[in-house]
Structure 1
Amino acid sequence: MKAIYLILNQCNFDITGKCLIAEVWCPSSDLQRLQVALELGSRKAGATVPSFYTQIPTTQNRPTLNRTNQFTAGFQSIVDAYGVGTYQEVNPAIYTIITFPFLFAVMFGDVGHGLIMSLFAAWMVYNENDHQLKKETNEIWRMFFDGRYLILLMGLFSIYTGLIYNDCFSLSLAIFPSAWHVSPMIDHVWSSTDIQRDSYLSLDPNISNVFEGVYPFGIDPIWHLANNQLNFLNSFKMKLSVILGIIHMCFGVSLSVFNYMHFKKPWFVLLVFLPELLFMLSLFGYLVFLIVYKWIVYSADTSRQAPSILIHFIDMFLFTNSASNADLYHHQGTVQIVLVVIALLSVPVLLFGKPLYICYQHRTTSRTRRGGYQSLGEEAGNSVNQTDSDIESDDSNIEDDFDPADVFMKQAIHTIEYCLSCISNTASYLRLWALSLAHAQLSEVLWTMVLRQGFKRTDYTWSVALFIAFALFAVLTVAILLVMEGLSAFLHALRLHWVEFQNKFYVGVGYMFIPFSFCFLEEAEGCH
């Protein structure tokens, strides 16, 4: 009753005093339902004046309504925690459904841990209609239960990346026979005695004729016996994290095109999007090319002659060529100079292009108004989207509020921030490598220092020690690797989406559409 009177108090009396007038927001798709509800209410109340609605023009910023279901609600809440999108702005939640659990799994890749996480989430999904679970007041449990589909995808993706890493509780899965075979012509042939006597055996990929094909999927399990396993996996994961990061950021920059086209700003595609993309691809996209090119051209036999990508990347900015570091391909120096020049030329376009266009557009609009005309499409309610990190206002129709210096200053801040963030954000994606390494090492420590101690003896009296060791291993695995490491990987994946991905196209300065409903009231119970 209080809620109803609160809404009625916000209405205005008609001049006749016989009805109330309310100005409300309503989704366009629900207008038909609104009309039916008004007619039904008038008929049940026996009102002499029928209730109806009419659409009125407005210059206010429209609220944002993102319809969700049980599956997408968790992903939408991640985006809304950063900021509610402006009206009709590109919603990152659609892409977060895939990118978030995948980046999490890159850091959390383990078949065993991902399976445990998936089973826990599957149990919550199976019992999602249980009223006791829904009414649980524990805040931590509520967060887990509301994000059950997110946890399920994170677990499934972790199983996939764990298979790529060939890592299951720090042990390898020999699903296929190893592709590593030592040639009989080589003196150092491993025997069963060597494997039992030596704790670590170094693998030399430069030995010829040691491979018989390629391991079908993931990392060859023989690497878990190698003393130089970390040298191989660190290089692989570090380069892979850079590749994934640059692809992710370029995808975010590309999404800004949809905002520009939807809000009738096609010139921003040429003045903002293309310079940003050219700057990113000319420098860091070229770095991805060097990594992939080196993987393809150089084999295990010629890996010692492979030049350093890092030195080439540094020489690229210094316009030099180290004599001790051979070129990867012909005319590499010329190509690198051209790419740096393109990146440098994109900076002034990004710095002056957008402000000059806004000033020109403002001057044209002012002349048109002085001539007694108004350009079409100047409805302020449709131009609230901010597609850049600067907050550009479409109040340029008010001549007194327009300040060209302010426009240039905001664009200069955005340009400097974008150019510097291309470097810092690329380095930030190295957390994919660091967290993956930390997770694998902690898993190996738990196996070596805890559970493996129970297998030292084979007599029956040692079974008690094995039972205790397994219980301790299980508790530490859940507490440290699943909860603490899982939360750490979740927070790092969250940061990568908020800072490195969403800031390329998403501002989130809108406000959410919250309809009047008794289900939103705290006193209401049993609403479904």
Structure 2
Amino acid sequence: MGSLFRSEEMTLCQLFLQSEAAYACVSELGELGLVQFRDLNPDVNAFQRKFVNEVRRCDEMERKLRYLEKEIRRDGIPMLEIPGEVPEAPQPREMIDLEATFEKLENELREVNQNAEALKRNYLELTELKHILRKTQVFFDEMADPSREEEQVTLLGEEGLMAGGQALKLGFVAGVILRERIPAFERMLWRACRGNVFLRQAEIDTPLEDPSSSDQVYKSVFIIFFQGDQLKTRVKKICEGFRATLYPCPEAPADRREMAMGVMTRIEDLNTVLGQTQDHRHRVLVAAAKNIKNWFVKVRKIKAIYHTLNLFNLDVTQKCLIAECWVPALDMETIQLALRRGTERSGSSVPPILNRMETLEDPPTYNRTNKFTNAFQNLIYAYGVATYREVNPAPYTIITFPFLFAVMFGDLGHGALMAAFGFWMCYKEKPLQAKKIDSEIWNIFFGGRYIILLMGLFSMYTGIIYNDIFSKSLNIFGSSWNHSYNQSTLMDNKDLQLNPDSTDYSGQPYPFGIDPVWQLAEGNKIIFMNAYKMKISIIIGVFHMLFGVCMSLWNHLYFKRRISIYVEFIPQIMFLMLLFFYMVLLMFIKWTSYGPTPPHYGDEICQERVENNGGATIGRWPHHFRYTIKDFDTLIICSFENALYLGNTIPKFISSIVVAILFAKRVFYSLDSHVFMATAGGLKISSFI
């Protein structure tokens, strides 16, 4: 019988399905999520299976949907979440309609994008030409200025300026280049042309949109004056190397004004066309955004169904599909009902056949979970999956994991913050699930929301015990300690101590948790609290380990492995008891037997050893607890030697025997396998243990 405490009983079944009903039946089984199919074609290549073409069609549809999704996200259009229940897998005949819809949307969107990119590129060219015509007017005015005659002489030389009594005419090119390339561009022109060119540049104030990437880029307008065709060729090569865009620029002012007016008219027309193109693109994407989540689910379900059908075998008549699957024994009736529904949906007249099979294979482990236990079960799976029908530790982890975390974390304030965060995720569970957030970190937090809630609640509980809230204590009931020192004593002495045998202690402990007076113990507060938490963690951890070993006993009894009880469970429990549980026992003995008040143990020998080590005493030990740290260690060692270590030879001997017994299981199975091989006539067994 399956339960939360042990994995479900699984049954290997053989399933016979008619070809026309196989798709619908697998779809119904997939909605249940209770069946694990075996691959009956392990030697067949994935590209040679029966339904490989259908899987490829699904891959192609997924590619088109991803393209649509990328364009939708690029425009910042919200995608409508799936309302209500997740849609079921569509019928095979609906694949044709889905393919046609996706093909139409992709072609339409690609055509719109290509047109928009061409229009944007044309718009960019006209915008750059507009800036060139504006900026170069200033450059030409400067070149025509008589005051710049000295610069022209420097560039061309006095003999070059006048040839036959007439001024030489300079050639020029104008264009646009990325702003960050200007310094390197200028250096290259100077070196390649040996200083025989004149470069002027001006920055374009507004950024321009790159039609390919839609990024905003900053550019600069430049104009280069030169003389001769050789320099012209060299300048154009350099511009091409720096990916500068050259534009025709008339020399006459009237021609430039006329061209500028034509450019402005074309820019206005392009703005109108671009706006209409963007509106059409937006309408296409908005229509796709309403259904894209739904389409993704449908396509992936179709793909999963055909991938599962590729695991089946065909009979000799090619009309029946044969499958083998593991199913929970308790859900056989549910699975048969699902198969019946699938047969009715497909319109087949032949019902499916589900037969139980006998097998010696180890069934898969299946633990039934819900939204609360699922996170804890995944926590167990992170360490390992239990063998079939082994005890499931997840129910106990629901308590032990948050509590052991809280033992070390214990803080009322921080625990309240953690619990509030976990409670918020649990309270907003459905809206947060509907958002389908893709962040991996967020999904980890949200998947463990119940773990976070319990860790916060347990941390609040241990924080109350530790009397710790944001590293501060609350004095709710009033401290059990008070001091009789006057103000001058407190000011003159750095270290003072309270005597529990005097009026400093009221005689009654703090009602609940740690006494808040420990906040004043600056010298040993951290040492005491860390030691206290560490010892508590060790005690609870040892009992936790003992409980885990006891769970193995339930497995041995269930699987009737008597030899494992004798050579595995008993040695393990003895080993834990003689070492770790013995250590825990010593902690309790120390707490109950030693302290600042007169203990049960003590003798003259201990007193003499302390005095010989140089310790100063007031009265005879253990009436007061005022030895140095060195003397205190001597007292404890002395007392433990007299009280606890009189018979420690026996535990040492038993511990050594236990370690030897742990190897007995391997020896037993090794001998047993040899006997089995002998009785089997020398038949080789590949794995017997």
CA distance in 2, matches of 1:51, 1:32: 13
2:324 paired with 1:29: no
Cα gap change, 1:122 to 1:202, in 2 (>3 Å): farther
Alignment CA distance shift 1:93-1:202 (3 Å): farther
Of residues 594, 605, 614, the one that matches 1:298 is 594
Which residue, 407, 427, 444 being the options, matches 1:143? 444
1:67 offset after TM fit, Å? 1.6
**What amino acid is the match of 1:73?**
N
Taking structure 1 as the reference length, what is the TM-score of the superposition? 0.61
How far 1:294 sits from its partner (Å)? 1.4
Give the counterpart letter for 2:536 in structure 1. L
Instruction: Kindly state the Cα deviation for residue 330 of structure 1 after the two structures are TM-superposed.
Output: 6.5
Cα RMSD after superposing both structures:
3.1
Alignment of structure 1 residues 242-321 onto 2, 5 Å: 242-302=538-598
The Cα offsets for residues 444-466 of structure 1, whole Å up to 9 and x where unpaired, read as xxxxxxxxxxxxxxxxxxxxxxx
Counterpart in the other structure of 2:517 = 222
Whole-Å separation in 2 of the counterparts to 1:73 and 1:298: 47
1:252: Cα distance to partner? 2.0
Q: CA deviation at 1:366?
A: 4.3
Change in Cα spacing, 1:323 to 1:69, as seen in structure 2 (3 Å) is closer
Equivalent of 1:350 in 658, 662, 670: 662
- Correspondence for 1:100 among 384, 401, 413: 401
Aligned to 1:125: 426
Residue ranges of structure 1 left out of the alignment (5+ in a row): 183-188, 309-321, 371-396, 408-528
SS in 1 for 2:548: helix
Q: Give secondary structure in 1 for the equivalent of 2:514.
A: coil
1:113 lines up with 2:113 in the alignment? no
When the two structures are aligned, how many residues end up with a matched partner?
Answer: 357
- Asked if 1:359 is matched to 2:644, the reply is no
Percentage of matched positions with identical amino acids: 43
Whether 1:170 aligns to 2:493 is no
Q: Is the 8 A contact 2:549 2:573 kept in 1?
A: yes
| 2-structure distance, mates of 1:9, 1:231 | 65
Residue 241 to residue 350, structure 1, CA distance change in 2 (3 Å): same
Structure 1 CA distance for aligned equivalents of residues 399 and 687 of structure 2: 42
Contact 2:677 2:685 in 1 (8 A): no
Question: Is the Cα contact below 8 Å between 2:602 and 2:639 reproduced in 1?
Answer: no
CA contact (8 A) 1:102 1:154 kept: yes
Deviation at 1:343, TM superposition (A): 0.7
Q: Secondary structure of the equivalent of 1:55? A: strand
Once the two structures are superposed, the pairs formed by residues 372-391 of structure 1 within 5 Å of their partners are: none
Measured after TM superposition, the shift of residue 306 of structure 1 is 8.0
- State the distance in 2 between where 1:127 and 1:249 align: 37
Unmatched runs of 5 consecutive residues or more in structure 2:
1-301, 607-633
Q: Deviations over 1:99-138 (max 9, x none)?
A: 1111211221111111111111111111101156641222
1:244 maps to a residue whose letter is I
Corresponding residue number in structure 1 for 2:78: none
1:365 to 1:117, Cα distance in 2 relative to 1, 3 A: same
Tell me the secondary structure at the aligned position of residue 661 of structure 2. helix
Partner in structure 2 of residue 86 of structure 1: 387
2:462 matched residue in structure 1: 161
Q: State the alpha-carbon separation in 2 of the partners of residues 288 and 325 from structure 1.
A: 17
Shift in Å, 1:364: 4.8
Q: Is the 8 A contact 1:164 1:219 kept in 2?
A: yes
Q: Distance in 2 between matches of 1:174 and 1:331?
A: 39
Question: Aligned in 2, Cα 1:400/1:74: closer, same or farther, shift over 3 Å?
Answer: closer
Distance (whole Å) between structure 1 residues aligned to residue 668 and residue 556 of structure 2: 14
Shift of 1:205: 4.8
Separation in 1 of the partners of 2:678 and 2:652?
Answer: 41
Residue aligning to 2:528: 232
How many Å apart are 1:332 and its aligned residue? 3.1
Residue 399 of structure 1 pairs with residue 684 of structure 2: yes
Does residue 336 (structure 1) correspond to residue 641 (structure 2)? The answer is no
Mapped to 2, the partners of 1:199 and 1:24 lie a distance apart of: 80
Post-superposition Cα deviations, 1:371-428, rounded to whole Å, max 9, x if no partner, equal xxxxxxxxxxxxxxxxxxxxxxxxxx9634369xxx8xxxxxxxxxxxxxxxxxxxxx
Matches of 2:381 and 2:361, distance apart in 1? 21
Q: Is the 8 A contact 1:117 1:152 kept in 2?
A: yes
2:471 aligned counterpart, secondary structure: coil
Structure with the bigger percentage of strand: 2
Tell me what 2:190 maps to.
Answer: none
1:55 to 1:290, Cα distance in 2 relative to 1, 3 A: same
What does the per-residue CA deviation read over 1:318-360, in whole Å, with 9 as the maximum and x for residues that have no partner?
xxxx998334497633431111111111111112x21232134
Quote how far apart the aligned CAs of 1:304 are: 12
State the partner residue of 2:20: none
CA contact (8 A) 1:200 1:226 kept: no
Is the 1:171–1:224 contact (alpha carbons within 8 Å) kept by the matching residues of 2? yes
1:204 aligns with 2:498: yes
Shift in CA distance, 398/367, structure 1 to aligned 2, threshold 3 Å: closer
